[in-house]
Amino acid sequence: MDDTGDGDGDGGDGDGDGEGGDGDGDGECGDGTVDRGEDCDDGGESEACNSDCTAASCGDGVLNMTAGEACDDGDDNSDLDADACRTDCMLPWCGDGVRDAAEECDDGNMDDGDGCSSCVVDYGFDCDPAGDGDGDGDGDGDGDGDGDGD
């Protein structure tokens, strides 16, 4: 005779699922049982489940280091904005193609001698401080350096 659970022999709690717990759905996140309002409950953080019992995914705004995330700023993740958490939930790095605060340049590769080596402008190369793509630094994009755009 099974003397555990609700007495019906299945070892459960009387809610019909054969599982333990009280069946009222009011358990706590982290108790290992998926309750009302929880996407998952692995008893703690896992690759599939955040510590707040929401399903883990990069970009959800919840840092989940077990899933390999180094950062997660949700909708603010960006592959274009300097110093932002990237859309793959990795921190910005030299060679990611985005010029971050500590970088003189970032050409998206780690090739030495191409004008930007290890995110430092190589000697003899001219960088584009205005960011207009023409390299003259005046910000008008026409390449003549006079700043009038003509």
Per-residue CA distances from 22 to 10, 40, 52, 116, 126 (Å): 14, 17, 21, 63, 70
Average pLDDT value over all residues in the chain: 80
How much is the pLDDT for 127? 66
Quote the tokens at residue 141.
């994009």
How much is the pLDDT for 2? 44
Q: Beta strand pairing status for 120-121 and 116-117?
A: antiparallel
Global pTM?
A: 0.61
Q: Does residue 133 or residue 59 have the better pLDDT?
A: 59
Per-residue CA distances from 48 to 51, 74, 86, 150 (Å): 10, 17, 20, 56
Per-residue CA distances from 74 to 57, 144, 145 (Å): 10, 42, 40
Per-residue confidence band for 13, with pLDDT thresholds at 50, 70 and 90: very low
Q: pLDDT tens for residues 94-108?
A: 999 999 999 999 999
Contact by Cβ (8 Å): 84, 73: yes
One-letter amino acid for residue 134 of the chain: D
- What's the residue count for the chain? 150
Q: pLDDT tens for residues 16-51?
A: 444 554 445 568 999 999 999 999 999 989 999 999
Q: pLDDT tens for residues 66-89?
A: 999 999 999 999 999 999 999 999
